[in-house]
Amino acid sequence: MKKKDFYLFIIPSLLMMFFFIAVPLAIVFQQSFYITQNVFQEIEVETCTPGFLKQICKTEIQTKPKLDLNGNLIKVSIFVGLENYKNLLQIEKLKKAVFNLSLNEIENITFWKAFRFTFTFCLITLPLVISLGLLIAITVNNLTQSIKGPVIFISLLPFIITPIIGALAIRWLFVGEGILTSFIEFFLERDIALFASAWTLEILMIIYRVWHVAPFAFIVFYAGLQTVNKETLESAVIDGANRFERLRYIVIPHLMPLIIFVSLIHLMDSYRVFEEIVAFSSQAYVISLQWLTYDFLTPDDTGNRLINRASTSAMLTMVGVTIIILPLLKRTWEDYREGKL
Residues in contact with another protein by the rule CB under 8 A? 35, 37-40, 45-58, 62-65, 67, 71-73, 76, 87, 104, 107-108, 110, 175-176, 193-196, 280-285, 295, 298-304, 306, 308-309
CB of 84 to another protein, least distance (A): 8
Task: Output 29 or 261, the one with its CB closest to another protein.
Answer: 29
Task: Output 53 or 323, the one with its CB closest to another protein.
Answer: 53
CB of 71 to another protein, least distance (A): 5
Instruction: Give the C-alpha separation, 77 to 31, whole Å.
Output: 9
3-class SS of residue 43: strand
Task: Output 76 or 161, the one with its CB closest to another protein.
Answer: 76
Instruction: Give the C-alpha separation, 43 to 210, whole Å.
Output: 55
Task: Output 132 or 175, the one with its CB closest to another protein.
Answer: 175
Instruction: Give the C-alpha separation, 116 to 124, whole Å.
Output: 12
Task: Output 303 or 339, the one with its CB closest to another protein.
Answer: 303
CB of 321 to another protein, least distance (A): 24
DSSP 301: T
CB of 106 to another protein, least distance (A): 12
CB of 198 to another protein, least distance (A): 8
Task: Output 12 or 303, the one with its CB closest to another protein.
Answer: 303
What count of other Cβ atoms lies within 10 Å of the Cβ of residue 48?
A: 10
CB of 212 to another protein, least distance (A): 21
Instruction: Give the C-alpha separation, 37 to 83, whole Å.
Output: 15
Residue 36: in which H helix or E strand, if any?
Answer: strand 34-38
Task: Output 62 or 227, the one with its CB closest to another protein.
Answer: 62
CB of 201 to another protein, least distance (A): 9
Burial of 276 (0-12, 13-18, 19+ CB in 10 A): buried
Residue type, 265: I
- Dihedrals phi, psi of 79, to nearest 5 degrees: -75, 125
Residue type, 339: G
Instruction: Give the C-alpha separation, 167 to 209, whole Å.
Output: 9
Which residues are CB-neighbours of 206 under 8 A, at least 6 positions away? 121, 124, 125, 128
